[in-house]
Amino acid sequence: MVCGEEKVILDEEVFAVILALAIVASSIGIALTWRPFGERFVAIGLLDESCKIGVYPKTAALNQSLKLCIYVYNHMGKPIAYQVMYKVALNTSQLPTTSAPSVAKPLGKWLGALDNDRDEQFFAFVRIPWDRGLLGRNISLVFELWVFNTTTGSWMYSGVWGHIWVEVVG
Amino acid sequence: MKFIAVLLIVAMIVPQVADPCSPDAISKVVRGLEELSQSYVNVTSAVRYADEWLKACGEGNYTEAVKAYTNVSEEVMRLSIFRDSSRLGMLLYKALTTLVFVLIPIAIYLLLPRVYLYLWYSSKKRWFVVKRK
């Protein structure tokens, strides 16, 4: 402060900084209020019979029923109708990709509806098909997530799936 | 009166869907839920009914599916009454929030020096002024 200058109780620079912070915070607040919905996606998780990640079956007998837990999550910004399809892939080429479902035929399905930002867990009892040719082979239990598309009026593969490998024993 | 009108509409719609698990039926309900959701209507109850309905379809329980389909159709119809008011309510909420955010820097600009001065004087009102020797 220069000698003779009028003394200001509230420092002008401090006041300017506080005001600038308030303007920035308000701008962010307004932008967040009117922001469009972010990335839209659905997710599926394959869990063990305790609905946890970890203890998956390594082997399975023919026609044996396995208890697994399926987790589905919706972040599409709207309610969805979903379908989880169970298939058995005999090798890696039969596994689904992010753009195409598995070529194997569906052996089971579970349907449901989920609101936006909601998830669901449910038990799935799946059976290894009775085929002696599978004995001793490693097969993959595949769970694909399909979502109902109201534009086309049909079920559409979402591009996400879960799978575990098991050895078929006698 | 509104309730009777809703019942009549439901009675007209429900018999038209022969199979409650057909893609047409699913499409109709899911589209209804999407439209309500985009109008900011709380569709939690309708989605719960839809979940029960689709699960019944998945289990092949036709009787339960018909019952659940009627429930979800009625719920979608009931909620559609709130579509306009919910949309307007959300718009008002966003407009008011924006107004509050706009007013905060102005309030700080106008009130902060006054409040600061008031506090400054209040904290020093018991002070004695002594001439420096």
- Establish whether this prediction's ipTM goes over 0.95: no
Residues B68 and B103 in one domain: no
Residues B76 and B91 in one domain: no
Kindly provide the residue ranges of all beta strands, DSSP E only, lying in B4-105, ordered along the sequence: none
* Domain boundaries along the sequence of chain A: 41-169
Residue B91 lies in a domain: yes
Q: What's the domain count of chain B? A: 2
Lowest average pLDDT, out of A53-57, A86-90, B55-59, B79-83, goes to A53-57
Compute the average pLDDT of residues A84-96.
Answer: 95
Residues B54 and B108 in one domain: no
Residues B73 and B110 in one domain: no
Give the residue numbers spanning the domain of B101. Answer: 84-124
Residue B73 lies in a domain: yes
Residue in A78, A86, A156 to test binding to B, most B beta-carbons within 10 Å? A78
A129 touching B (Cβ < 8 Å): no
* A96 residue type, one letter: P
Q: Where do we find the tokens 């009777």?
A: B4
Interface of B with A (CB under 8 A): 23-24, 26-27, 29-31, 33-34, 37-38, 43-44, 46-47, 50-51, 53-55, 57-58, 94, 97-98, 101-102, 104-105, 108-109, 112-113, 116-117, 120
Residues B60 and B88 in one domain: no
Per-residue pLDDT for A1 more than 50?
A: no
Cβ–Cβ under 8 Å, residues A115 and A54: no
Residues B77 and B91 in one domain: no
Residue in A12, A13, A21, A30 to test binding to B, most B beta-carbons within 10 Å? A30
Residue B130 lies in a domain: no
Residues B66 and B92 in one domain: no
Sign of the dihedral defined by the CA atoms of residues A13, A17, A23, A24, in that order: positive
Residues B91 and B57 in one domain: no
Q: Which helix (H) or strand (E) holds A147?
A: strand A138-149
**List of chain B residues whose C-beta atoms are within 8 Å of the C-beta of residue A120:** 51
> Could you say which of 1.10.10.1800, 3.40.50.1380, 3.40.50.720, 2.60.40.10 is the CATH number of the domain covering A41-169?
2.60.40.10
Residues B36 and B94 in one domain: no
Residues B37 and B70 in one domain: yes
Per-residue pLDDT for B18 more than 80?
A: no
**Which pLDDT score is estimated for B48?**
95
Under an 8 A CB cutoff, do A115 and B31 touch? no
A81 touching B (Cβ < 8 Å): yes
Q: Tell me the pLDDT tens digit for each residue of B71-84.
A: 999 999 999 999 99
Residues B66 and B112 in one domain: no
Quote the CA–CA distance of B37 and B29 in Å, as a whole number: 12
Which residue of B lies nearest to A147 if distances are taken between CA atoms? B30
A16 touching B (Cβ < 8 Å): no
pLDDT band at A78 (very low <50, low <70, confident <90, very high): very high
Compute the average pLDDT of residues B52-76.
Answer: 93
Residue B27 lies in a domain: yes
Residues B91 and B110 in one domain: yes
